A and B are shown apart, each in its own frame.
Chain A
């Protein structure tokens, strides 16, 4: 008996040892090259800005956070709202929400189509949506940029057809960023929607149809409520990268239409205001964490809804 107990304790001790030693390299790397630097950014957001970028160490101030929302007038030193920052913050939120809605409206039929199509074709269509998901975002943004340019494919085609007289200005506008983000993030919406729809039991739909529900009513009253977790997951997967988007607004918005990610870059580049850039970074991270929190709560709610 004592022997068995000893073996059990030894095994338990080995287990505790293993769970730390084996995880140590991954934990250390993430700590040193991801979480640690993030903590530094939090600290930087509370320091005094240096004259040529960087910060003055251990001189604390709230100026960084202050200038996220307010700015001092150059001449009479009065306070006013920093319109430029607020415009960009608002644009980031607005474009991310609309991108999420657009991808949801387009992505749902796509996911539904893949989930209900002939089995032999399902892998093919699934592959067709996975491929853009894993190909370079920069290349896909470049591809859509070539379509939107004034002398690009879309405008050339419309001019040739005589539908327009002058090229449509899509590049360097909010609409351009919106369409570009919808284009690059659509696969992120489709995949979780598909995962939910694939598991949907169509006997529920048949039961409703037997009770004279139209197909549209079946969709609205049965299918959409039951695949809600997929809708929430897809929306969050699109909303989060949209909010922090950097490459797409940089290429499609140029210097005219900035989003939060570009504003952050500006503070670490020409702006030379690292505390402000740090405060904006923490604001962005906070927004993402908030979205994730909403997701976790919504997901757990719809999960419990199924059981009870």
Chain B
């Protein structure tokens, strides 16, 4: 059957688009395939095996970095989400006032400054504080992660609050519900998909961060991404592919959940 004429058709666009999708996924697919390589290089496939996953699993430094990543990310995401939810309420459930736009821009600031600049800024300040207080623990990492996670949680939550129908909250307030009760019984149940979405974005952003963590970590405080960055300087074995593949699987799981959660409600 001849293709029907359509004003929507642009010559070559479909081919370019499909080519782009192929180019986007081929490197990732290659990386995953070589994770199962039985050989020791990332150049030639010599049969299928799980040996590199076993190597990664038995590598104490990998496990330690993974545990650190999975400690920092949930704490940072949780604190950032709570602070962002409160801030989103404060900037939507209020009469408009001077400085409101400034406040919103202030909270979104970590998005506007290049990561490398935030990283050196924190390096400068934290290295001073480390000398003054003698404390070199994981608190610095968590504090920094909370700060740059806040805008990622703030944006979806605030967007949802802005588009939500106010009549239910007003009705509850008219029936003598205290502000806290209005939030707990009316606003929160309507808002929680956005809160969950914000939390997951913050979680992924914290988990993926490499630049800021690389600059402010104390000795021996590798997270999984900084560990990988350090290893990538050397000759890589398929162990890196195995680690990356597992990391990728975790990210995909969180993103998929986020995608369907945010799709259904809108």
- Which residues of A are interface residues toward B (Cβ below 8 A)? 12, 14-16, 18-23, 25-27, 29-38, 40-41, 44, 54, 106-107, 109-110, 112-114, 116, 123, 125, 127-132, 134-140, 142-147, 149, 151-153, 156, 183, 186-187, 202, 205-206, 208-209, 215-216, 218-219, 240-241, 243-244, 246-247, 250-251, 261, 264-265, 268, 274, 277-278, 281-282, 284-285, 288-289, 292
Contacts and interface: CB of A to CB of B under 8 A. Distances in A.
Contact of B120 (A114, A123, A277): A277
B124 interface: yes
B177 interface: no
A185 to B, nearest CB: 11
Given A15-B95, A23-B91, A40-B124, A146 B42 contact: yes
B196 interface: no
Interface of B: 7-14, 16-18, 20-21, 23-28, 30-31, 34, 41-44, 80, 82-84, 86-87, 89-91, 93-95, 97, 103, 106-107, 109-110, 112-118, 120-125, 127, 143-144, 146-148, 150, 154, 179, 201, 204, 207-208, 210-211, 215, 225, 228-229, 232, 240-241, 244, 247-248, 251-252, 255-256, 258-259, 263
Given A29-B146, A142-B232, A156-B44, 5 more contacts: A14-B179, A18-B93, A18-B179, A22-B89, A23-B107
Nearest to A260: B116
Given A116-B8, A137-B208, A138-B228, A40 B125 contact: yes
B94 A25 contact: no
A92 B50 CA distance: 41
Given A215-B7, A247-B210, A285-B113, A29 B95 contact: no
Q: Chain B binding site: helix, strand, loop or mixed by DSSP?
A: helix
A239 to B, nearest CB: 12
A38 B31 contact: no
B53 to A, nearest CB: 16
Contacts of B263: 123
A250 B43 CA distance: 22
A139 B232 CA distance: 10
B70 to A, nearest CB: 14
A24 B25 CA distance: 43
Contact of A144 (B27, B120, B247): B27
